[in-house]
Structure 1
Amino acid sequence: MRLHRLDITAFGPFGGAQHVDFDALGAAGLFLLHGPTGAGKTSVLDAVCYALYGTVPGARQSGQGMNLRSDHAGPGTRTEVRLELTVAGRRLEITRQPPWERPKLRGTGTTVDKAQTWLREYDTTARAWKDRSRSHQEIGEEVTQLLGMSREQFCQVVLLPQGDFARFLRADAEARGRLLGRLFDTRRFADAEKRLAERRRTTEARVREGDTALLADAHRMQQAAGAVMELPELAPGDPGLAEAVLGAAAIARSTVRERLTHAHLRLGAAESAHAEAQRALADVRELARLQGRFAAAQERAERLRERAGAHREALDRMERARKAEAVTPALDLREEAEREHRRAAWAKARALDPLPAADTEAGASALAAAARRTAEELGGLDAARRAERRLAELVEERTGLDRQERADEDVLREADAWLADWDTTRAALQARVDAAQDAATRAEQLAVRREPMERRLTAARTRDALTADLADAQDRARAAGQRALDARAHWLDLKEQRLTGIAAELAAHLTAGEPCAVCGATEHPAPARKVAGHVDREAEDRALAAHQRADEQRAEDERRLGVLRETLAAATAEAGDIPTGQLAAETDELARQYVRARDDASALHAAHEELRHAEREREQRLADRQQAAVRVASRLTRRDGLEREQASLQAELTQARGAAESVAARAAHLERRAALLTRAADAVRAAEEAAQRLKDADARLADAAYRAGFDTPEAATAALLDTAAHRELQHRLDAWQHEEAAVRAVLAEPDTAEAARRPAADPAAAERTAATAEQRLRTAASARDAAARCRTELDGLSARATRAVRDLAPLRDEYDRVARLAALTAGTAADNERKMRLESYVLAARLEQVAAAATARLQRMSSGRYTLVHSDDRSGRGRSGLGLHVVDAWTGRERDTATLSGGETFFASLALALGLADVVTDEAGGVRLDTLFIDEGFGSLDDQTLDEVLDVLDSLRERDRSVGIVSHVADLRRRVHAQLEVVKGRSGSVLRQRA
C-alpha cells in the first residue's frame, strides 16, 4: 500500500482545505511531520485512517466521538477527507464526508445531511477515473479485503503508536495476550478450546444417560423377575456398573426358566383332564341334539298333513297363470296402441287449437300446403330484417357516442380539478419526504454516537468498581510489604544468632586426636557448648524460606496493585470525571432519541412511494385529458355519417313492415303461423295412423285369448299374476316341497332313530364337569403364560442391556479421548507441563516471530547490545508462553523489559513495532506496505542512538518504503530534509510541505 495524496477540508484542527503530496514527501524515503503541541500532527494520521475505515483510531475516537468537524470551519463548508492510494496494484480514490449539520436552504434553523462516501478507480486504459461505489458497507468491505487488515491492525502496523508498544514491553502476560489476540485474530483457537470443552461435557452427559438407561432396564428386569434379582448399589458413571447389571440379569434368567418348566408340566396335566371332560360333554350334547331333531321332525310332518288342501289349490292357480302368459304379448301390444292413440288425439287437439276455425277442419295435406305458402312469404323479408338490425346498431352506436361524450367531459372536468391542486399536493408530499430524510440522517448520527457513549458508560462503571477495590489492594500491598520486612528482619536476627553460636556447631563435630577444621589442633581441651536458645542451620533455613515467601507475596500484591491502577487509569481515561449516573442518563436519552428518529425515518420509503405515485398520477391525468380532447373532435365526423345512414334505412323499413310495428314483428308473426301449420299437419297425420294401429291390436288380442283356452280376453287378463303374486305363490309351492323332503330325510336317518330309542340326555351335569376342568386349565395356562412372559421380558431386557453396554463402549472411549484432549488444550492436563492453553500456545508462537523480527532492528539501534527473546515460563498465576525479556550483551544476563531506561524503551518499542508490522503483514496475506508512520518518542534518544535509529528507519527504503516520523524534536528538522509542518493559528491549523 502506498499513499499518493491526501486532501482535508474542515477536519479536526484544519478549518480550511489542506493538501498533502505523499509522493513528493516519500521520494526521499524518510520525511518528518512536525509542529507544536496541539497543532494537529496526529490529525493528519487520523484523516488517513478515517478515509480508509470511516473511523479514527480508537483512543482519539473515544475521546472525541465522531465529532470530526473543525470548530474553525465556516457554516457553509462541509467536512471532507479524500485519499488517493495504490493497493494490490489498483489506484483508488476514497472520499468521505461525515454527517453535517448545516443551515437550511429555505427558512431558519439547521438540518443534518447524512454521511456520504465515494470510491473511484483509475482506469489506465481509458486514462480516466471511474466510479465504483457509493455504499459505506461495500467500500468498507472492499478496503478491508484489499488491505487484509482490520482498523485495529492498520493502526498498529502502519501508524505505529509508540506509547502502545512501550506499554506492551512493560505489560504482563494477560495484557500482551489481549493485544496479540486482537492483532492476529486467534478467536478460532479459543473457539476450538470451547468446542472441545462442550464436546467433553456432551459426551460425559451421554455416558451418564447411557448408564441411567442401563439402570432403568435393570429396574424393569427386577420388577419382572420379582425378588429373584438383586440390583448392584452403583450410580451412573461408576466403573463396573455394566458387568454387575449383566451378571444379575443372567442369574434372574436362569431362575425364571426353571419356573417356566414346572408351569409347563402342570399345564400338560390340566390339558389332559380338560380334553377328557370336553369329549364327554360333546357326546352328551350330540345325543340331546339327535333326540330333539327326531321330535321336531315328527311335529313338522303333522303340520304338512294339515295344509295339504291349500297346497292343491295353489297348484291349480299356478297352472292357469302359465296359460294366461301366452296372451300377455297381445295384451301389451293393445295397451301400447291405446296409449299412442290417446297421445296422438291430445297432440292433434293442442296443435289445432291456436289455428283459425277455417283451418281446424282441413286435412293434413291442406295444412302442409298452407305452411309452405307462409314460409315463402317469410323468405322475402330477409333483406328488411338485416336493414332493421343495422338501424338498431346505428341507434346503439349513437347512444355509445353520447355516453363517451359524457365520460370525456367528466374526465376533462376531473383532470382540471385535480391538476389545479397539484402544486399544493406536491409541496405537502415533498415536505413529508424531507422530514423522513432528516429523521434518517439524525438516526445515523445518533447510531454513530451510541457506541462511544456505551463504552464510556461501561468504563465509568468499571472505574467506580475499581476505585472501591483500589483501597483494599493498597492495604493488602502495605500489609504484605510490612510482613516481608518483618520476615527479613527475623531471618537476619536468626542468622546473626547462628553466626554468634557457630562455635558450638563446630565443636559438635570435634573428635579427639583429629585436627580442628579451624585451627588444626589435635587437642580440644575446652570445646564450646550449646546454650539455651541456640539457632541451628534448620531454623535459619526455615526463617529464610518464610522471608522468601513473604517477599514473593509482596511482589504479587504489588503487581496486582499495579495492574489495578493501570486498569483504573485506562477506565478513567475512557470515562473521564463524569459521574456514572449522568453518563447512564445521557446514554438512555441518546437511545430514546435514536428510537424516535428511527421510527420517524421508517416513513421515508412510504413518503417516497406516495410522491412517485402522485407524480405518475399527474402524468396519467395529463395524458387522459389530451386523449379525451382528441376523442371529442373525432366524434363530430362520425355522428354526421350515422345520421345520414339512419334516414336511408328508416325509409326502406317503412315500406317492408306494412301494418306491423316492425319488420321483425311481421317476420315473427309469419314464423309463428308457419310453425303452427306444420305442427298441426304432423299431428293430424299421426292421429290417423294411431287409430288404425289400435284397431289392428284389438283383432290380434281376441285371436290370442281363444287359442289359450279363454272365452274372452277379459278372462285371460283376470288369470294373469303380477310379478310379486307369481313370486309369492311359487315361493309357497317350493317351501312345501322342501319341507316335505326335509321331514322325510330326518325321519329316515338311522342315528336319529337310534337316539330316539335311548334314555333322555343330561347336558347340564356334563357342562358342570367340563367347566371345572376348564377352570383348572385356565389357571395352569395363566401360570405358564406369566412365566413365559417373564422369561421373554427378561430375555428382551437382557439383550437390550447387552446391546446398550456394547453400544456405550465406543462412547466411553470417545469421552476418554475428548476429555484428555480438552484438558490438554485448556492447560489442565498433566501432560501439559507448562499449563499453556491452545490460544496461548499460538500467541506464544506469534510473539516468538515478533521478537525475532524485532531483534534484527534492535541490535542495530543498540549497537549490538540488546536482543529481545521470548520466554515460555509462567509468571506467578498468569498464563505462560507470553514472556518477553531482553538480553544485555554487555553483562550477558537476561532481564525483564520493564528495567529498560526511557531511551532504551523507545528504540526497543520501535523495533518491536516494526517487527510486529512485518509479522502482521505476513499474517494478513503479504500485503505490501510502502508507507509507514512513527508517532513520537524520539526526544528520549541521545545523538548517537538517534543516528542509529534513523539509519534503521532509512534502511526501510531498501524495500522502496517511505517512512513518516511524527515528532516535535528540533534536531530532527536538521537531519530529515523532507518535511510536512503543521502550523497552528487562531483560525485553525495549516500544512506546509517541503520536499
Structure 2
Amino acid sequence: MRLHRMTLTAFGPFGGVQEVDFGALSEAGLFLLHGPTGAGKTSVLDAVCYALYGSVPGARQSAGTTLRSDHAAPGARTEVVLELTVAGRHLEIGRQPQWMRPKKRGTGTTMEKAQSWLREYDSVAGAWKDLSRSHQEIGEEIGQLLGMSKEQFCQVVLLPQGDFARFLRADAEARGKLLGRLFDTRRFAAVEQHLAELRRGTEAQVRAADERLLAVAQRMGQAAGRTAELPLPELAAGEPGVAEAVLTWAACARSAAREALAVARVSQDAAQRERAAAQADLDAVRETYRLQRRHAEAQERAARLAEHADAHRADRERMERARKAEAVAPALSLRSTADAALQRAAGEEQRARRMLPESFAGAEAAALAAAARKAHEELGSLASARRGEQRLRELGGELVQLEQEERSDAAALEEASEWLADWDAVRHAHQTRIDEAQEAATRAGQLEGRIDPAREQLDAARRRDALTASVAEAQEEALAAGRRAGDAREHWLTLKEQRLRGIAAELAAQLTDGDPCAVCGSVEHPAPARRTDGHVDRQSEEAALAAYQRADQERTEVENTLSSVREALAAATASAGGSPTEELAGALGELEQEYTQVRGLASTLHAVREAFARDEHEHDRRIAARQDAERRAASRTSRREHLAREQAVLQGELAQARGGAASVADRARQLERQAELLTEAAEAARAAQEAAERLKEADGRLAEAAYKAGFDTPQSAAAAALDDASHRALQHRLDAWQQEDLAVRAVLAEPDTQAAAQRPAADPAESEQAAERAEQTLRRAVSAQAAAEERCRELDRLSRSAAGEARQLAPLRAEYDRVARMATLAAGTSADNERRMRLESYVLAARLEQVAAAATMRLQRMSAGRYTLVHSDDRAGRGARSGLGLHVIDAWTGRERDTATLSGGETFFASLALALGLADVVTDEAGGVRLDTLFIDEGFGSLDDQTLDEVLDVLDSLRERDRSVGIVSHVADLRRRVHAQLEVVKGRAGSVVRQRGISG
C-alpha cells in the first residue's frame, strides 16, 4: 500500500482546504511530520484512517467529538479524499461525514447525510471510473484489499512507539491483549469460553442436583426431628457419596418414626379417658356453685328493696298529683305566654317613646302615626334638591381636576424643555463611549490570542527550569549507580578468579579413597590439594554475584529515570525557547493586566448602546409630551368658564332647599329619622294594648281549670305539674322497682336454687385446674400422634423423592467429569497441561515467536549484533498467563534477561524493532499486502545526539524496497536532520499544512 495524495476540507482543526502530497514526501524516503501541540498532527493520521475505514482511531472516535472543523465556513462541506495504490490498483476514496448545513430556503439548518465514494484510475482510458457509493460495499472492498482491520492498520501502519515500549516491558497478560486484537484470536478464546460455559453449565446441573438431594435430606432431617437414631450427616454439594449417605440415613429415620407413632397412639387413648372423668366432675361443681350464687344475689336484692320502700310510696303519691295537674297545664302555658308577651311589648313602647322629642311624650298611637305620615311627605319633596347638590359637588371636583392638570402640564413643559436643551451634549457623550468600547473589544480579541501561547510558554519554561535541576541530580545518581555496579562487578570477578585458582581444593575435598577422581579417573589420591588462607567458596561467589545483579538493576532503574527526565526536559525546552522564566512571566503579566483593562472597558459596549437607545427613545417621548401639553392647555380655558356659570345657578337653588340644615342630605336624614321614630313608637303602643287584653283573658281561663282539677289555687296546680324529663324519670323509678320485686320473688321460689342453698358452699377452682391438666395432657398426646403420623408420611414421601434425585444424579456427574477435563485443559489449569497455557495463549505464543524472530533481524542491526529477542514459554507464577514471555539475549555477557532490564535507549531500539517485526507478521497474516508507507509516532525526545544519528540511520535503511517512513515528533533537532517535512501550523482561523524540503 502506497499513499499518493490526500485532500482535507473542513476536517478537524483545518478550516479550509488542505492538500498533502504523500508522493513527493515518499520520494525522500524519510520525512518528518511536526508542529506545535494542538496544531493537528494527529488529525492528519486520523484523516488517513477515516478515509480508509470511515472512522478515526478508537480513543478519539469514542471521545464524542465531531469531525467537522469549528473554523469551517457555514456552507463548507467536511470532506477527506485519499488517493493510494493497493494490491496493484490505483484508487481514490472520498468520505463526507454527516453535518448540519444551512437550509437552501429560509433560515436554520438541516441534517446532511454522510456520503462515501470509491473510484479507480483506468490507465488505458486515462480517466477515473466510479466503483461504488455504498458505505458497506466500500468498507468490504478496502478491507479485502488491505487484508486487515482498522485496529491492525493503526498498530501496523501508524506505529505507536509508546505502546510498543509498554508492550516490550509489559507482563504476559498485557501482551496477550494486544496480540489478541492484532491476530484476531477471538475464535480460540471463544472455544475456551464455550468449554468454560459448558463446564459451568454441567457443574451447575450437578450442583443443582446435589443441592436438590441435600435439600430433600434437610427436609427429611426437619421431618424426623429427634426420632432419628443417627444425626443427619454433614454434606456439601459436589462431594462424592452424597446419594449413598442420604439414602442410608433415610432408612434409619423411617424405622425410628414408626416406633414413635405406636407409642403416641397408646398415650392418646389414656389421656382421653382421664379428660372425660375430669370434665364430668367439673360440670357438677360448676352447676352447684351457680345456683348458690343465684340464691345469694336474690336475697341481697330483696334487702335493698325493703330499704327503699318509703321512697317508693312517696314516688307513687307524687305521680298521682302530677296526673291531676296535667288537666291544668294548657291554661298555665297560655297564661305564661301572655304575661311574657305583655312584658316585651311594654319594654318596646318605653324604649320607642324615649327616642321621641318632648312634644310627643303623652301622644296616643293615632297621633304618632299621623306625625310620621307628615314627615314622609316632606321627605319626598327633597329628591330634586339632592340631585342638584350631587351635581354641585361634581362641578367642584371638575374644577379642581382642571387646576391639577394645568399645574401638571406646566411642570411637564418646564422639565421637557430643560431635558431637551442638553440633548446634543448627551448624544455626543454616548457616541464617544461606544467608540471607546468598540476599540477596547478589538484590542481584547488581539490580546486574548497572545495570552494562551504566552501562558503555555511560561509553563514550559518553569518545567524546563525544574527539570534542569532534576537532570543534574539524575545524572549524579546515574554516575553513582554506575560506579557502584562497576565496583560490585569487579568484586565478583575477583572472587570468581580466586575461586577458580582454588577450585582444586574444592574438588579434593570431595575425593574418597577407592573412588575414581572426577578429573583424572585415578582411584589413588597421594597428594590432594589443600585449602589455603583466603579461599573463596561457592557461597561467597554467589553472594558477590547477587550483589552485582542488585547494583546493576539499580543502575538500570536510575538510567531509565534519567532518560525520562531528559525527554521531558527536551520537550519543555522546545516549547519554552531560550527566554528566561522571569522575562516570560513579566511579559505574561503585562499582557494579562492590559487584557483585563480593555476587556473591562469592552464589556460595557452593550450597556452603553442600550443607554444610548433609551435616551433616544426618551428624547422622542418628551417632544411628543410637550406638544400634547400645549394642546390640553388651550382646551381647558373654555371648559373652566362653562363650569363656573353652572355652579353659581345651583348654589342659589340649594340654599332655599336646605333650610336650617347644613346640606340637603342633612335635611333629608333629619326627616327620615323623625319618620322612623314616630312609626316605631306608634306600633309599640298598639302592641302593648293588645298584650294587656290577652293576659286578662288567660287569667280567667287558668282559675276555672284549677278549680275543676281539685286544686285550691292556680299556684297549687302549677307546683304539682311536672315537665317531660321529670315525669319520665319518676315513671322509670316506679317501673324499675316493680320489675325488680317480681324478679327477686321468682328466683327465691325456684326449687333447684332452694336445694342448692341448703348444700355446703361449692368451689370450682380446684376442679377446673384438674380438668385443665387433663385437657393439656390430651392435647399433647393428640399433637404427638398427629406429628408422628405426619412424620411417617413425610419421611416416606421424601425417601421416594431422594431415590429419584439419586437416579438422576449419576449421568450428570459423568458428563461433568468429561467436560471439566476438557475445559481445564484449554484454560491451562489442568495437571495434564504442564505449561499451564491457555488455548488462546498457545496460539498467541506461536505468533509472538514469529514476531520475536522478525524483530531480531532489525534489532541486531540496531544494536551492532549485541541483542537478540527470544520468545519464552516458561510457566508463570501466581496465576499469571504462561507462554507469552519475552526475553533478550545479551551477546556481550551471554546471558538471557527480561526486556524490562533494558535502558531507555535500548528500550527504544527494541520497541522499534518489535513494532516493525509485528508489522511484517501482521502483514503476512493479512495476506502479504505490501506496506510502502509507514508512520512512526513519538519516542525520540529521550535520545542524545549520537543515539539519534544511529536511529535515523536505521530508519533511513527502512527505505529499502522503495518504502517511505514518516516520523511524527516534537524534537526540534529532527527538523535539521530530516529535510523532507510536513509542518502543521495552527492559527485563529484554523490550522494549515506546509511541505518543505521536497521538489515540485
Q: What is the TM-score normalised by the length of structure 2?
A: 0.51
Gaps of 5+ in 2: 57-68, 80-96, 102-113, 115-134, 508-520, 526-545, 570-584, 858-868, 888-898, 903-907, 938-949, 970-977, 984-993
Give, in whole Å, the separation in 2 of the partners of 1:296 and 1:267.
43
Query: Are the aligned partners of 2:835 and 2:873 in contact in 1 as well (CA < 8 Å)?
Result: yes
Question: Are 2:563 and 1:573 aligned?
Answer: yes
| Residue in structure 1 matched with residue 336 of structure 2 by the alignment | 335
| Residue in structure 2 matched with residue 388 of structure 1 by the alignment | 393
| Residue in structure 2 matched with residue 118 of structure 1 by the alignment | 71
**One-letter identity of the residue aligned with 1:318:** M
Offset from partner CA, 1:596-624 (integer Å, 9 cap, x none): x9xx99x99x9999989977996898699
How far apart are residue 737 of structure 1 and its match?
1.5
**One-letter identity of the residue aligned with 1:369:** R
Identity of aligned residues (%): 39
Offset from partner CA, 1:693-730 (integer Å, 9 cap, x none): 54554455455555655565434322211234322321
| Residue in structure 2 matched with residue 722 of structure 1 by the alignment | 723
For the residue of structure 2 that corresponds to 1:341, the secondary structure is helix
| Residue in structure 2 matched with residue 741 of structure 1 by the alignment | 742
| Residue in structure 2 matched with residue 4 of structure 1 by the alignment | 7
**One-letter identity of the residue aligned with 1:320:** R
For the residue of structure 1 that corresponds to 2:996, the secondary structure is strand
| Residue in structure 2 matched with residue 867 of structure 1 by the alignment | none
How far apart are residue 734 of structure 1 and its match?
0.6
Give, in whole Å, the separation in 2 of the partners of 1:884 and 1:740.
120
For the residue of structure 2 that corresponds to 1:118, the secondary structure is coil
For the residue of structure 1 that corresponds to 2:326, the secondary structure is helix
For the residue of structure 1 that corresponds to 2:332, the secondary structure is helix
Superposed, which structure 2 residues align to 1:589-600 within 5 Å? none
**One-letter identity of the residue aligned with 1:340:** A
Give, in whole Å, the separation in 2 of the partners of 1:701 and 1:295.
55
Question: Are 2:380 and 1:376 aligned?
Answer: yes
Offset from partner CA, 1:749-769 (integer Å, 9 cap, x none): 23234445x4x32324x6445
How far apart are residue 574 of structure 1 and its match?
2.0
Change (3 A) 1:389 1:616: farther
How far apart are residue 341 of structure 1 and its match?
3.4
Change (3 A) 1:933 1:299: closer
Give, in whole Å, the separation in 2 of the partners of 1:434 and 1:797.
93
Change (3 A) 1:46 1:314: same
For the residue of structure 2 that corresponds to 1:994, the secondary structure is coil
Query: Are the aligned partners of 1:173 and 1:879 in contact in 2 as well (CA < 8 Å)?
Result: yes
| Residue in structure 1 matched with residue 579 of structure 2 by the alignment | none
Give, in whole Å, the separation in 1 of the partners of 2:19 and 2:405.
80
Query: Are the aligned partners of 1:347 and 1:683 in contact in 2 as well (CA < 8 Å)?
Result: yes
Query: Are the aligned partners of 2:706 and 2:712 in contact in 1 as well (CA < 8 Å)?
Result: yes
For the residue of structure 2 that corresponds to 1:763, the secondary structure is coil
For the residue of structure 1 that corresponds to 2:40, the secondary structure is helix
Change (3 A) 1:316 1:237: same
Give, in whole Å, the separation in 1 of the partners of 2:774 and 2:884.
87
Give, in whole Å, the separation in 2 of the partners of 1:234 and 1:466.
66
**One-letter identity of the residue aligned with 2:370:** A
Superposed, which structure 2 residues align to 1:210-229 within 5 Å? 225=226
How far apart are residue 376 of structure 1 and its match?
1.7
**One-letter identity of the residue aligned with 2:761:** D
Query: Are the aligned partners of 2:228 and 2:256 in contact in 1 as well (CA < 8 Å)?
Result: no
Offset from partner CA, 1:113-153 (integer Å, 9 cap, x none): xxx96355763699xx99989xxxxxxxx9xx999999999
How far apart are residue 346 of structure 1 and its match?
2.8
**One-letter identity of the residue aligned with 1:761:** P
Superposed, which structure 2 residues align to 1:76-115 within 5 Å? 87=51
**One-letter identity of the residue aligned with 1:388:** R
For the residue of structure 1 that corresponds to 2:71, the secondary structure is strand
| Residue in structure 1 matched with residue 761 of structure 2 by the alignment | 762
Query: Are the aligned partners of 2:264 and 2:788 in contact in 1 as well (CA < 8 Å)?
Result: no
How far apart are residue 345 of structure 1 and its match?
3.2
How far apart are residue 828 of structure 1 and its match?
3.3
Question: Are 2:369 and 1:365 aligned?
Answer: yes
For the residue of structure 2 that corresponds to 1:123, the secondary structure is coil
Query: Are the aligned partners of 1:3 and 1:22 in contact in 2 as well (CA < 8 Å)?
Result: yes
| Residue in structure 2 matched with residue 507 of structure 1 by the alignment | none
| Residue in structure 1 matched with residue 40 of structure 2 by the alignment | 51
Give, in whole Å, the separation in 2 of the partners of 1:670 and 1:260.
115
**One-letter identity of the residue aligned with 1:343:** R
For the residue of structure 2 that corresponds to 1:828, the secondary structure is coil
Give, in whole Å, the separation in 2 of the partners of 1:790 and 1:451.
91
**Residue of structure 2 aligned with 1:994, choices 972, 976, 999:** 999
Offset from partner CA, 1:387-435 (integer Å, 9 cap, x none): 537856986998899999999999999x99x9999999x99xx99x999
Give, in whole Å, the separation in 2 of the partners of 1:445 and 1:244.
78
Give, in whole Å, the separation in 2 of the partners of 1:791 and 1:607.
97
How far apart are residue 738 of structure 1 and its match?
0.7
Offset from partner CA, 1:165-194 (integer Å, 9 cap, x none): 899899997785576589899999999999
Query: Are the aligned partners of 2:982 and 2:996 in contact in 1 as well (CA < 8 Å)?
Result: yes
How far apart are residue 369 of structure 1 and its match?
1.4
Change (3 A) 1:573 1:292: closer
Task: Kindly tell me the number of residue pairs found equivalent between the two proteins.
Answer: 768
Query: Are the aligned partners of 2:852 and 2:917 in contact in 1 as well (CA < 8 Å)?
Result: no
Change (3 A) 1:773 1:667: same
**One-letter identity of the residue aligned with 2:28:** L
How far apart are residue 332 of structure 1 and its match?
3.0
| Residue in structure 2 matched with residue 280 of structure 1 by the alignment | 281
Question: Are 2:36 and 1:32 aligned?
Answer: no
| Residue in structure 1 matched with residue 326 of structure 2 by the alignment | 325
Offset from partner CA, 1:898-947 (integer Å, 9 cap, x none): 9xxx999999966854776999999xxx9xx998657997855999x966
Give, in whole Å, the separation in 2 of the partners of 1:183 and 1:456.
38
Quote the RMSD (CA, aligned, Å): 8.6
Give, in whole Å, the separation in 2 of the partners of 1:244 and 1:410.
114
Give, in whole Å, the separation in 1 of the partners of 2:674 and 2:18.
112
**One-letter identity of the residue aligned with 1:574:** S
**One-letter identity of the residue aligned with 2:564:** E
Query: Are the aligned partners of 2:841 and 2:881 in contact in 1 as well (CA < 8 Å)?
Result: yes
Give, in whole Å, the separation in 2 of the partners of 1:768 and 1:482.
108
Query: Are the aligned partners of 2:481 and 2:554 in contact in 1 as well (CA < 8 Å)?
Result: no
Give, in whole Å, the separation in 1 of the partners of 2:833 and 2:474.
35
Gaps of 5+ in 1: 12-16, 35-40, 58-82, 93-115, 134-141, 495-529, 535-555, 580-592, 859-869, 886-896, 954-962, 968-975, 983-988
How far apart are residue 300 of structure 1 and its match?
5.4
| Residue in structure 2 matched with residue 344 of structure 1 by the alignment | 345
**One-letter identity of the residue aligned with 2:718:** T
Query: Are the aligned partners of 2:25 and 2:980 in contact in 1 as well (CA < 8 Å)?
Result: no
How far apart are residue 798 of structure 1 and its match?
14
How far apart are residue 351 of structure 1 and its match?
3.6
How far apart are residue 733 of structure 1 and its match?
1.4
Change (3 A) 1:767 1:699: same
Superposed, which structure 2 residues align to 1:391-540 within 5 Å? 532=523
Change (3 A) 1:465 1:699: farther
Give, in whole Å, the separation in 2 of the partners of 1:831 and 1:409.
112
**One-letter identity of the residue aligned with 1:874:** D
For the residue of structure 1 that corresponds to 2:393, the secondary structure is helix
